[in-house]
Structure 1
Amino acid sequence: MHLYGTQSVDEHGQLTIGGTSAVTLAKTYGTPLFVYDTALIKERARAFVQTFERAGVQAQVAYASKAFSSIAMYQLAADEGLSLDVVSGGELFTAIRAGYPVERIHFHGNNKSDEELIFALDSAIGCIVVDNFHEIEQLKRLTKYKKVNINILLRVTPGIEAHTHDYITTGQADSKFGFDLHNGQADQAFQSVKDDSYISLLGMHCHIGSQIFDTAAFSLAAKKLIVKMLDWKTKSGFICSVLNLGGGFGIRYTEEDKPLKPEIYVEDMIKSIQLEIGQENYPMPEIWIEPGRSLVGDAGITLYKIGSQKEVPGLTNYLAVDGGMSDNIRPALYQAKYDAAVANKMNFDSTTTYTVAGKCCESGDKLIEKISLPKVEAGDTLAIFCTGAYGYSMASNYNRLPRPAVIFVEQGQHRIVIKRETYEDLVRLDCSLQGENMGMQS
């Protein structure tokens, strides 16, 4: 079992996170509970940022906030000097409420509404990543009507299939995202915006997938985009000032995963870009990247209370926890794998193989298949590691389960950053058929 960041085992044989016992956190805040090791988030953020700084390369490291969005998380990212990638009006609203510097906000998404784009324009955000021709026409109409300028990147699909799960590969040609780099769509989009009075084209963006464990795919993507940049310079005299290679930097969920350090991804990216443009005497663009999972993924741990058990003789020992697919849909959606430990029995021998099941009314609600753990009892605290990305952000109220609380932990200090939902929260937006304002015709 691999421990991450500030995780350790104390003299009582209990898992500690940020200098605090996980068992104590579970008792203090209840379970399920998302715990974030903020020292690890800061360490990862600084590794990306400082590698660019040491190389003397202009860059923006934008937190891809779909991995985990909250006011506190946005404030932490802002304090670390990160830019911010948002993909909806809700994420943008949260960023504005958090006081995020608007000039460092980038708005993504393949189906932005007029209302969302107006919100972005009125907020004077730093950049909109344009995904399709419909959005180009929206922006032309809205910026002309409001007489406001906006910086944009064109999202392109470079046709690269990174070594990743089919469900989370977004850079190949057959994708719902972006303008195809090879069938003329990217050129058509470029021609449509390059001379617009209110739209300022900065350059191109791509995202080739997730959980990428080598640098070759990023280098190939950079090469493909630079070929197109050179083509635009030759034909139109246009210079791209920004090259955004997206995110997708892998993390370790289990011992099978072999991620690289942030520094290695960045250093190889810089070398690849410098090599390609150096041969053509092209000005060095500002490099943008978008780490999300790699900042928060293995900094997050979910704590559960173990409840019932069921033995299927000769097949499986089930242990059930007080959460499940409602707070971590990834095992059911992606067949994602996780590691876990019994937080109050870290020094016990692992003698029993279990399947960790959730409490949702679905036979597929299994968080981990066949993991070796110490013999467990009801009331034990189970810690599932590396749940910081796409756990809370994809959580639901299926079966009317309240979403868990979220806390930040660092140097023995811990604080709640998202309150646990209550049953009252679950019905707050419901409308009764009893009463005067039924909205029905007789």
Structure 2
Amino acid sequence: MPRKPPPLETLRCIAEEIPTPFHLYDAEGIRENVRELQRAFAWNPGFTEYFAVKATPNPSILRLLKELGCGVDCASYTELLLAHEVGFRGDEIMFSSNATPAEDFLLARELDAIINLDDISHIDFLAEHGGIPERVSLRYNPGGDFRLGTRVMGNPAEAKFGLTPEQMPVAIRRLQELGVEEFGLHSFLASNTTDADYYPTIARMLFELAADLHRDCGAEFFLVNLSGGIGIPYEPDQPRADLAYIGREVERAYAETIVPAGMDPLSVVTELGRFITGPNGWLVATAVHEKDTHKHYLGLDASASNLMRPSMYGAYHHITVAGKEDAPAERVYDVTGALCENNDKFAIDRALPEIEIGDLVVLHDSGAHGHSMGHNYNGKLRSAEVLLEPDGCFRLIRRAETPRDYFATVAGIDVPEELGAPEHDPLQRA
């Protein structure tokens, strides 16, 4: 079952101070998931979790993760700036991007981040814009279908990311000519899978590739990045990934490939965002309208601008009604937002308890790729973010946008003060 949100009393207390909708994060749940991951890979002395900033790009969340020994994975100039401002330095930052602008590479070099090159053409481009460091990682795309047993998990040949098998030795030799002394490998072949064999399979593939390149090109390796891909059980009764098993099987693959190749020690790292913060976040909204036409609609004060995944992917997010978690699910609703798009629906034909206007409705598992995928379509304003500690204390870690924020980047309009901003900045009060 999905991780339980706080009780109605706690949600009401927060909503009295911070109007809905807001994203709420469970600080202790995030800590527990990081510690579980670290235990699973404790056999590897160089293990580091490079948290995918794109999942939850909030400074308070990143500081929490830094305290736990995590690094960060960045994909843009702005994410690099955010990581630096939070206090990440040097090889605590991995930069994995594609179609990369020159200024992004220049900043990554200035910050001495580990650069993970997505394309063979980026080698000479990086040489011109920032220079080639002594350590470089390469993103690998094996092509074809990616299978676990007889199941097709994805189609790497259709993915825009990574170098082909034929390009890898060419890239290694070119980088050696330019002074690279140590290499990393990275690959991402499946998204949001709870299948425990995914990481061991991709690990063995990358370990064997590293051993081949070490033998054929004399390449020395310092890191293998298993990237993301470990998902969370969005749906009730969906299995959760078994991290202990995953860690043991990756260790087995390491012992059977890296150790015989004489390449031990080699850091094995991960790049998980969804697994760490996803189940530890909820979008809390208020029921504001009910409509009976050809279907029965429940309208929330949140919309796809606050949680885009259902409208974008048809993704499932579990929904509960605060205080009615154990009530029978006797009504069938389409749960919607107010955008002028028919796909602005959090759920279609979802059986839920009878909902009254004013009820707090909780959308589960929004802690990753929730707020971060928000947008301003229809002039909707992105919501607040709140961090909850185990003692029940909470604090605002991002205030909700105001009309003044929305118009701040355009010319020719002046929003009256009383319409554009709160009387006081709640972040300053906090």
Matched, 1:327 2:306: yes
SS at match of 1:47: helix
> Aligned residue pairs: how many?
408
Shift of 1:203: 2.1
Shift of 1:293: 0.2
Bigger shift: 397-406 or 345-354? 345-354
TM, length-normalised to structure 1: 0.87
Shift of 1:152: 1.6
Matches within 5 A, 1:265-344: 265-312=246-293, 316-344=295-323
Matches within 5 A, 1:378-417: 378-410=357-389, 411-417=391-397
- For residue 30 of structure 2, what is the aligned residue in structure 1? 41
The one-character-per-residue Cα deviations of 1:170-201 (angstroms, maximum 9, x if unpaired) are 771231101012xx11122112112323x444
- For residue 132 of structure 1, what is the aligned residue in structure 2? 119
- For residue 426 of structure 2, what is the aligned residue in structure 1? none
Shift of 1:3: 4.6
- Equivalent residues of 1:86, 1:107 under 8 A apart: yes
Amino acid at match of 1:175: A
- Equivalent residues of 1:62, 1:288 under 8 A apart: yes
Matched, 1:187 2:174: no
Distance 2:208 2:348 in 1: 46
Amino acid at match of 2:139: R
Distance 2:127 2:154 in 1: 26
- For residue 17 of structure 2, what is the aligned residue in structure 1? 28
- Equivalent residues of 2:194, 2:233 under 8 A apart: no
Residue of 95, 98, 117 corresponding to 1:107: 95
Bigger shift: 331-340 or 170-179? 170-179
- Equivalent residues of 1:215, 1:268 under 8 A apart: no
Amino acid at match of 1:336: A
What is the Cα-based RMSD across aligned positions, in Å? Answer: 2.1
Structure 2: runs of 5 or more not aligned = 415-430
SS at match of 2:304: coil
Distance 1:150 1:358 in 2: 51
Shift of 1:102: 3.4
TM, length-normalised to structure 2: 0.89
Distance 1:318 1:177, change over 3 A: same
Residue of 405, 411, 425 corresponding to 1:425: 405
Distance 1:311 1:79, change over 3 A: same
Distance 2:324 2:109 in 1: 53
- Equivalent residues of 2:49, 2:71 under 8 A apart: yes
Amino acid at match of 2:29: L
Distance 1:131 1:84, change over 3 A: same
SS at match of 1:287: strand
Shift of 1:227: 2.7
- For residue 86 of structure 1, what is the aligned residue in structure 2? 74
Distance 2:308 2:251 in 1: 35
Amino acid at match of 1:383: V
Residue of 190, 193, 198 corresponding to 1:217: 198
Structure 1: runs of 5 or more not aligned = 15-19, 164-168, 435-442
- Aligned-pair identity in percent equals 25
- For residue 439 of structure 1, what is the aligned residue in structure 2? none
Residue of 157, 175, 187 corresponding to 2:159: 175
- Equivalent residues of 2:182, 2:220 under 8 A apart: no
Amino acid at match of 1:344: G
- Equivalent residues of 2:188, 2:227 under 8 A apart: yes
Shift of 1:150: 5.1
Shift of 1:290: 0.8
Shift of 1:299: 0.4
Matches within 5 A, 1:236-247: 236-247=217-228
